[in-house]
Structure 1
């Protein structure tokens, strides 16, 4: 299934795994793993909870049975924590000076196994130990192909979730250590890792956060560590597994929990994250809580869905601002962000900081009318009302035609002026425009044209110009109203206004 997904290049979905989402997922999954290991630290036996809310049910069972805590396991857990945490911190502080990290986990496992074996902790104190570990391999056997129709749907969901978890963990460590992850290549790798073991009765292969954190925290960096791990596991399965018979389960639980400290430290970054970006913090919190309280798989899917909703909401309410000129230059910047910018009399320059498409077309118009200070629909409506009043007065007073012509000329000369004569729309931040966006620009153009305001476009990219051309925006009049820079559009507007003023002054003379 995953090989087919890799062949279809489905790996592009990994772009929706943001840093905040991955961090929240890792922290939430760490809480789930920590929860699953607490029973070993206390040495109590509780039923394993599965499905939605398994972590909550696990904690309920822990507190119900906490009176059955095995003192030997609890003391061993505390001693291991007192050894592992300082040693891990030393490895972290002096990693640049140490040629190789101190293999403290190996020392703890060996020491704890010897202490448990010669101290007879299981026999004397009832400590929970690893016990008999089966050795050897099962004979290969072909899967039962008749089961495929009944398990295909479940296999698809497992493949998708396994891919998402693997890629999310890969991206998390890739960002930490500065390398690139190819999602489709990962999908091929997971797929083939599941095809071959299918003949040996193996479980489905996927990334495991706890084991990955353990390897990363011990200093593993290359595939050599994977080869060595495989060889050691092979050696354990074939030869030395019986030697770990007396190893206490609480020791393995402590090693797992200690290596989760990196993900758990993310809680201390929350105040700083909130100051930088509140939306990213919300994504982190939603992903973390859903991964910890609902389930790891659903938590990741919920985080992705919430992240995409945030993207949609952001695009619905993007930034919009008026621009002003930087003194003694041709640069125009936001008048909200920068101070001491100069506005050009009679010209408003508007920037919309998002794609213009069907989702935010109304937001574009509202922001444009609000920031410019002129709603052309309202102005046109008021002008129509004045025209009707004028017609009523003319009919009432029965004014002669010559008199009416003189009144019209006077009203045209002394009507209330608008705050600007030209509107320049800076399209440099608009990545694309769809059909609804083109129609919105047409409406804006016509609405402002009806009240005598000229609309100019500036800095349209190739995609936007192509959409405008295909959407029949460029007619005879509009073809000369699109400019390669805001400065050029402003100069054109000033020139046109000078020509119009000259014509009016000439006609009055």
Structure 2
């Protein structure tokens, strides 16, 4: 109703790439403990969590579990072989990608189940018991609205920005347009319905979104399939995943985001194209990685807006255009910026 989707205009491609690449680093760090078995490492969600995590990870690297690390290496190699070798081979005959992820899940569950409490048991971290069923709907307590209204507003803004950032990332890669107001409506409807079931505040998952895109999904019908499977699991099939190693899940998530990690390396190309856009990416990425996603996002948006103000105050001179020539007796004045209070004096001084 308020056409608030216009806010997404301020999310430039460079800011989105910096945000998603920085968030991908957080995801990688959060999965390292499961992939290596290193103990006594903190979470990365708090401020400067990545720095503390890396310090503790290096200090406790001697606690690395060899069998867990070996399982990680085998799983990652299998996934990369599937993505880089097998998929291109089978692509001419079928649109369906080779289901390496599904095979790894089935094989690892079977291996851990039959090897449990035997000499072949690798003692990998497993998912364990999964609670079955779902809470009955209930009316939320509106008496606490005043206590949580500001926190809820902050969560809503961050959730929306991250959601739109991921949507823009996927839309740019697959060359289609998104309706930002429709995304607002979808998020709002989801949170209203979820509030009657005691759910946490929802939003887009970087790992799940990228994994779904890499698996070749084309529409929201895939979500219906996922929901159906989750309902089946919640009401009876949950014990089947008890022996699923967490290492396998971590490897699937990390490999699915390999393109986001490569974008970090490719950012040097952006420096040659546009210095300002490169620094928008760099500032956003650095702030997200070193501080956290929420504050890093705010810093990235403020810095991007600051570059807009600075660029609008200085017009390009003739020295920036090699083909430009001055004609005797004629002066052409061009001001490459919108005229407003911040650059009005510069406009007059440049003309004089």
User: Which bin holds the TM-score, normalised by the shorter protein?
Assistant: over 0.9
1:351-391 deviations in Å (ceiling 9; x for gaps) = 1111122111222233334xxxxxxxxxxxxxxxxxxxxxx
Aligned residue in 1 for 2:266:
269
**3-state DSSP of counterpart to 1:15:** helix
Asked whether the equivalents of residues 113 and 246 of structure 1 are also in contact (C-alpha less than 8 Å), the reply is yes
Asked whether the equivalents of residues 30 and 44 of structure 2 are also in contact (C-alpha less than 8 Å), the reply is no
- Normalised by the length of structure 2, the TM-score is 0.93
* Correspondent of 1:66 among 54, 61, 64: 61
Asked whether the equivalents of residues 122 and 129 of structure 1 are also in contact (C-alpha less than 8 Å), the reply is no
Indicate whether 1:354 and 2:337 are aligned: yes
Name the count of aligned residue pairs: 349
Structure 1 CA distance for aligned equivalents of residues 210 and 108 of structure 2: 22
Higher relative contact order (CA 8 A, sep 6+): 2
Aligned residue in 1 for 2:29:
35
1:391-450 deviations in Å (ceiling 9; x for gaps) = xxxxxxxxxxxxxxxxxxxxxxxxxxxxxxxxxxxxxxxxxxxxxxxxxxxxxxxxxxxx
Residue 121 of structure 1: how far off its partner (Å): 7.2
Structure 2 CA distance for aligned equivalents of residues 157 and 288 of structure 1: 21
Aligned residue in 2 for 1:101:
97
Indicate whether 1:18 and 2:8 are aligned: no
**3-state DSSP of counterpart to 2:196:** helix
1:119-142 deviations in Å (ceiling 9; x for gaps) = 227984432111101111112221
Residue 271 of structure 1: how far off its partner (Å): 2.5
Residue 44 of structure 1: how far off its partner (Å): 3.3
Structure 2 CA distance for aligned equivalents of residues 85 and 210 of structure 1: 17
- Comparing both structures, which one devotes a greater share of its residues to strand? 1
Alignment of 1:109-258 (within 5 A): 109-120=105-116, 124-258=121-255
Farther-moved stretch of structure 1 (347-356 vs 115-124) = 115-124
Asked whether the equivalents of residues 321 and 351 of structure 1 are also in contact (C-alpha less than 8 Å), the reply is no
Alignment RMSD: 2.0
Structure 1 CA distance for aligned equivalents of residues 329 and 17 of structure 2: 50
Asked whether the equivalents of residues 91 and 97 of structure 2 are also in contact (C-alpha less than 8 Å), the reply is no
Residue 238 of structure 1: how far off its partner (Å): 1.5
Structure 1 CA distance for aligned equivalents of residues 17 and 252 of structure 2: 21
Asked whether the equivalents of residues 321 and 350 of structure 1 are also in contact (C-alpha less than 8 Å), the reply is no
1:446-505 deviations in Å (ceiling 9; x for gaps) = xxxxxxxxxxxxxxxxxxxxxxxxxxxxxxxxxxxxxxxxxxxxxxxxxxxxxxxxxxxx
Indicate whether 1:303 and 2:300 are aligned: yes
Residue 93 of structure 1: how far off its partner (Å): 4.0
Alignment of 1:277-356 (within 5 A): 277-321=274-318, 336-338=321-323, 341=325, 343=327, 345-356=328-339
Structure 2 CA distance for aligned equivalents of residues 94 and 229 of structure 1: 28
Asked whether the equivalents of residues 321 and 352 of structure 1 are also in contact (C-alpha less than 8 Å), the reply is no
Structure 2, unmatched stretches of 5+, are none
Query: Residues 263 and 49 of structure 1: is their aligned pair in 2 closer, same or farther, counting only changes over 3 Å?
Result: closer
Structure 2 CA distance for aligned equivalents of residues 56 and 135 of structure 1: 37
Asked whether the equivalents of residues 315 and 336 of structure 2 are also in contact (C-alpha less than 8 Å), the reply is yes
Query: Residues 232 and 173 of structure 1: is their aligned pair in 2 closer, same or farther, counting only changes over 3 Å?
Result: same
Query: Residues 241 and 45 of structure 1: is their aligned pair in 2 closer, same or farther, counting only changes over 3 Å?
Result: farther
Aligned residue in 2 for 1:495:
none
Structure 2 CA distance for aligned equivalents of residues 95 and 160 of structure 1: 43
Structure 1, unmatched stretches of 5+, are 1-6, 323-333, 370-509
Aligned residue in 1 for 2:82:
87
Residue 91 of structure 1: how far off its partner (Å): 6.1
Structure 2 CA distance for aligned equivalents of residues 22 and 122 of structure 1: 49
Question: Which of 1 and 2 has greater Rg?
Answer: 1
1:220-264 deviations in Å (ceiling 9; x for gaps) = 111111111111111221222111111111111111111110100
1:169-208 deviations in Å (ceiling 9; x for gaps) = 1111111111111212111110110111111121111011
Residue 287 of structure 1: how far off its partner (Å): 0.8
**3-state DSSP of counterpart to 2:335:** strand
Structure 1 CA distance for aligned equivalents of residues 118 and 171 of structure 2: 42
Residue 314 of structure 1: how far off its partner (Å): 0.4
